[in-house]
Structure 1
Amino acid sequence: MPEGHTVHRLAAAYGRTFGGRPVRALSPQGKFAASAALLDGQRMTAAEAHGKHLFLGFGAVGWVHVHLGLYGKVAFGDGPAPPPVGQVRLRLVGPGGHADLRGPATCALVGEAEKEAVRDRLGPDPLREDADPERAWRRVSTARSPIAALLMDQSVVAGPGNIYRAEVLFRRGIGPYRPGRDLSRAEWDGIWADLVALMREGVRTGRIDTVRPEHTPEAMGRPPRRDDHGGEVYVYRRAGADCHVCGGEVRAAELAARNLFWCQGCQPHPPAPARAHAVRAARAAG
């Protein structure tokens, strides 16, 4: 499933291609035909993202709400648009080109109230200027759930997926199984700042790179990563490989039906200070 930076890139692409101009709208697949007829000839007034949700605004007609899910894709092309290929749910055509939406989990024409109801169910998005990290901290700081699960809960933080979750926890040295309520405020602030910085870079480049300058292939003299997802990472999909930082083995497990990756040497659980405190307490008690 695309992570939040991809959806923000799509919103920007829709805005560049169609923003402020009337569009032709059709549903070659037929599943969105009635709504496409209402959009046809209307002007696109906005294109925005919140987490993994895309919203395309058409003034008084409403918003097209899109969630790509596991299989959804958008393909942009120059005009004139060729005959549609495959199951195209929604095709938009304008002077600047065309865009074909295929296989989304959600594609619905909604009103302002319905759009806001979707947004109200989501946590703050690190890529939005109106994001409130305090709102997420209130959830995290009282939760018994592991922080790795909380970061995948879109009602806590909207946008991060499996890659950003694994990489941010590694970069902050936080074990994925630590309960949210065991994190300090400084640790949470570090997670949030990293999400903002890394996801903004993902919007800029279109790929997820999380390694610091000293751990790039060039700096370490190692081969670049070869993976369908692209990007240089510390632990994501590197189970069994050596950690770039400590040399230990990168581990993998399943958490909430998703693969989890971490380095036990760099991400101890409980953290080293807590372990030391527990040892001192045990010695004092003995």
Structure 2
Amino acid sequence: MPEGHTLHRLARRQQRLLGGQVVAVTSPQGRFANEAAILDGMVFAGAQAWGKHLVQSYRPAGSRKRADERLVHIHLGLYGAFTEEPTPMPDPVGQIRMRVVGRDVGIDLRGPNQCELMTPDQLDALVGRLGPDPLRDDADPAAAFRAIARSSRPVGALLMDQKVLAGVGNVYRAEVLFRAGIDPMRMGKSLSRNEFDGIWHDLLDLMPIGVRRGKMHVVRAEHDRGAPSYAPDRPRTYVYRRAGEPCRICSTPVLTSVLEGRNLFWCPTCQG
């Protein structure tokens, strides 16, 4: 499942490609046909991300009223993806849930977990259920620390809980805990505010790199040596997907386990 930086990168790109344009919206697959008919011919007003949720906004030409706004909430899930084509776009192939076509480019959405119209009030309710997103200027890290500080769940699980912290997925979870030297199985309430602040500021450093580059970069320059440990299309990491391989710092074999249904990776020495 894409982590938060991917959704922010997609939102910014869609804003650049389509922002301010009257667009044609269809649903070749048919599952979003009624909603697409409402949006067809509107102006693509913008796109934003909150954690792993992307929201597109549409308005009638000439209107700037929030009451006239139509929102599309998209959660890609495990299999969803956007693709782009210059206009005129080729005929649809496969299960395209939504097609949005502007002047010079069109965007197809396939296989999302969710693609639905949403009112502004519903968006407010969704955002209210999410923890702070490190990639948003309006994020309040204190809210995440309050949730962590009163929990007996492992901090490794809490960082993945979107109600606690929005946008962090398995890779960033594993890597920021390694970089902080924190055992992922520690109870959340054992984490000090200074330790949490270190994690938060590390996310503030690392996640924008993912937005800019389109890929994660989590290994410090002084530790980035040797051949990649797995497929070249995977990010270079300290521990993520390196089970059994030597830690880049201390050479202890990296451990793996399953925590609340997700694979967990850590170094028992550096994070002991």
TM-score by length of 2: 0.95
1:227 corresponds in structure 2 to 231
Higher helix share: 1
Contact 2:54 2:73 in 1 (8 A): yes
Residues 228 and 38 of structure 1: CA distance in aligned 2, closer, same or farther (over 3 Å): farther
The match for 2:79 among 71, 74, 97 is 71
Determine helix, strand or coil for the equivalent of 1:74: strand
CA distance in 2, matches of 1:227, 1:9: 23
Mapping 1:106-117, distance limit 5 Å: 106-117=114-125
CA distance in 2, matches of 1:92, 1:256: 37
Contact 2:229 2:242 in 1 (8 A): no
The match for 1:199 among 195, 201, 207 is 207
2:150 corresponds in structure 1 to 142
Determine helix, strand or coil for the equivalent of 1:86: coil
Number of matched pairs: 264
Deviation per residue, 1:27-56 (Å, 9 max, x gap): 000000000001001001121000000000
CA distance in 2, matches of 1:154, 1:204: 23
RMSD: 1.0
| Post-superposition offset of 1:224 | 2.9
Query: Given the alignment of the two structures, is residue 246 of structure 1 paired with residue 250 of structure 2, yes or no?
Result: yes
Mapping 1:27-66, distance limit 5 Å: 27-59=27-59, 60-66=68-74
Larger radius of gyration: 1
CA distance in 2, matches of 1:229, 1:267: 27
Contact 1:26 1:33 in 2 (8 A): yes
TM-score by length of 1: 0.91
Runs of 4+ in structure 1 off by over 6 angstroms are: none
> Structure 2: which amino acid aligns with 1:21?
Q
CA distance in 2, matches of 1:64, 1:147: 33
1:7 corresponds in structure 2 to 7
Deviation per residue, 1:112-170 (Å, 9 max, x gap): 00111111110000000000000101001111000000001000000010000000000
Determine helix, strand or coil for the equivalent of 1:210: coil
The match for 1:129 among 137, 140, 154 is 137
Determine helix, strand or coil for the equivalent of 1:209: coil
| Post-superposition offset of 1:61 | 4.0
Contact 1:225 1:231 in 2 (8 A): no
Question: Structure 2 stretches of 5 or more lacking a match?
Answer: 60-67
CA distance in 2, matches of 1:236, 1:53: 24
Mapping 1:156-167, distance limit 5 Å: 156-167=164-175
Deviation per residue, 1:257-281 (Å, 9 max, x gap): 100000000001xxxxxxxxxxxxx
Query: Given the alignment of the two structures, is residue 90 of structure 1 paired with residue 98 of structure 2, yes or no?
Result: yes
CA distance in 2, matches of 1:242, 1:165: 19
The match for 1:255 among 240, 253, 259 is 259
Determine helix, strand or coil for the equivalent of 1:66: strand
Contact 1:38 1:61 in 2 (8 A): no
| Post-superposition offset of 1:181 | 0.5
Give me the identity figure in percent: 52
> Structure 2: which amino acid aligns with 1:83?
D
